[in-house]
Amino acid sequence: MNKAKLFVLGMSLGFGRDHEIFEGIELDEDMGDLLQEGGKISKSDMFSVAPNGKSIFQFAKTWESFDKVLKLAAKNGETITHRDLGKTIADSKSAIDMAAECDSIGHVFEPELWKGHAEEFENLFFSLKQDKRKDVDFYELQAKIAALSGKKTRAAVLKEAGIETSEVRTAFGTGDLDKFVAKLADAGLQLTLDDVKLVDREGDHTLYAKASWEKFEKIHAALVAAGEVMDPEFFFFKRGDRDSIVGSAFKHDLEDKIFNREVFKGRPGDLMEVFNRLNDAQASKIDIDAVLTGVIEDQLNVELLTGPDVNLSDLLTPLFNDSAAGPHATPVMALGLKKTWEHMDKVAEVLKSKGEVIKLETLRAPSGNDGESCLIKAAKYGQFDKVMMLLKESGEYLTDEDLLQPAKEGGKSLLDVLQETDSLQAMMDTGYWSGRSEQLVNTVWLNLKDMNKTKYKDEFRVLLTKCNIEALKKPSGPTASL
């Protein structure tokens, strides 16, 4: 910060010309020119050192006029956050460190300064070490800030009902949740998401401990019963530098408590919003396509799907499309869902009565965020016998690419999935492989894992023998051997 801006800022905060902040700096005689030269003072200027190496935050005078600092920043369209105040300025000290040194922490937490900025206040408060805020009652100050805007905090509401915030934490942990919910009801209250957001002296929410996550299903059910919905922002609630709600779940390796079809029932968009905000390490632990398709499946009307009005187009209509997903993502279709394949015999029967057939090209269509084809998904669901049924109806055959090509780099092929799900027997149909014994050997058999060659050797020999016999019945029919 140059001397002109320092002078303007110092004068704005009430520093006299002979104040220590100006020590060693030769000020111009022409104050008017100096003020003109000062110009706009940015947040960056405020948090930089003066030419003499000093910072305005070293002095109690600055903290006594901290409201002016906030207003100056706001005038320039900037907001001073807890991260700004915690950032090192000089001598390994932050603005907050300097406030503590000159016994001015109390000025930082004047309620009027934080009117309409409760979240910023809470983040700042819990970014401080306990010894620097030990004399400040968080819940009391939080209530005062809320009152300035005509609001009441959850802690204040509970206190009026004779309920301590510690009771919430106990109920969510090792205590009796049902009794606590009943106690709330006796006071004319019900469980809310704000109960989860109540923080302890460290700034940790009530789902911080592993014990709380182990009973999360019960907590979730109680909140749902009270009409509460865990929206995306809820999962990222945190104060200071403590773990967010979703971060705590990952910390205890209990992320599946969140990422399941029950928590996001009827809300695939919310599910994907939460998932897309995870870091790479967190996202890698979630089989998001399985969770997403599960959520969408729960919305699928089976009676309509298997009823007389179903058409092929119904199976291919996008049910959900995540615009923020990765490059392999495609819309989720009914044809890519497990529930559809479980009823595929009935669906195919209705379609056939209308002259519609599910062809191989249709089965190759990708569905879902992983970009896998409906062929591969059917195999994953253990429903490959239904695929063979459809291929017979359409009179088509899988190509080498269908069998061996993964949907994406590092992904699994159809043959990989058939082996993993122990579904190879579903494809051992003599009628299907008759006349195609070379592909059976070169594409299927030779690409099996050794353990499966051992396990299915006899079955493949029998199948191949039958195929060769059928081939010999035809002129120039191809034969093969293992």
**Segment 373-385 mean pLDDT:** 96
Instruction: Please check whether residue 123 is in contact with residue 116, taking contact to mean a CB–CB distance below 8 angstroms.
Output: no
pLDDT of residue 15: 87
As a whole number, the mean pLDDT across the chain is: 90
**117 within a domain of the structure (yes/no):** no
Q: Is the model's pTM score more than 0.85? A: no
* Residue pair 463/471 in contact by the 8 Å Cβ criterion: no
Token pair 């919310």 is found at 270
Overall residue count recorded for the chain in this entry: 482
Render pLDDT for 230-252 as a digit per residue (tens, 0 to 9): 999 999 999 999 999 999 999 99
Distance CA 326, CA 401 (A): 24
Q: Does residue 119 sit within a domain?
A: no
Checking if the pLDDT of 445 tops 90, the result is yes
- CA dist 414 and 352 (Å) reads 26
Q: How far is CA 424 from CA 312, 346, 373, 379, in A?
A: 28, 23, 18, 10
Do the domain assignments include residue 88? yes
Average pLDDT for 433-441: 92
Q: Could you tell me the residue range of the domain that residue 88 belongs to?
A: 1-108
| Residue 28 clears pLDDT 80, i.e. is over it | no
Domain count of the chain?
1
Q: What is the pLDDT of residue 459?
A: 94
366 neighbors 373 (Cβ within 8 angstroms): yes
pLDDT of residue 237: 98
Task: Say if residue 404's pLDDT is above 90.
Answer: yes
pLDDT digits (tens, 9 = 90+) for 147-190: 999 999 999 999 999 999 999 999 999 999 999 999 999 999 99
Q: Identify the weakest region by mean pLDDT among 26-30, 182-186, 298-302, 427-431.
A: 26-30
Residue pair 452/423 in contact (Cβ under 8 Å)? The answer is no
Q: Looking at residue 110, what is its pLDDT? A: 85
Residue 181 included in any domain: no
pLDDT tens figures, 262-310: 999 999 999 999 999 999 999 999 999 889 989 999 998 888 888 999 9
> pLDDT tier at 482 (50, 70, 90 boundaries)?
low
Residue 160 lies in a domain: no
Q: Assess contact for 390 and 383: CB atoms under 8 A.
A: no
The residues with which 332 forms a beta bridge, in sequence order, are 320
Asked if residue 241 lies in contact with residue 247, where contact means CB atoms within 8 angstroms, the answer is: no
CA dist 429 and 127 (Å) reads 66
For the cut 80, the answer to whether the pLDDT of residue 114 exceeds it is: yes
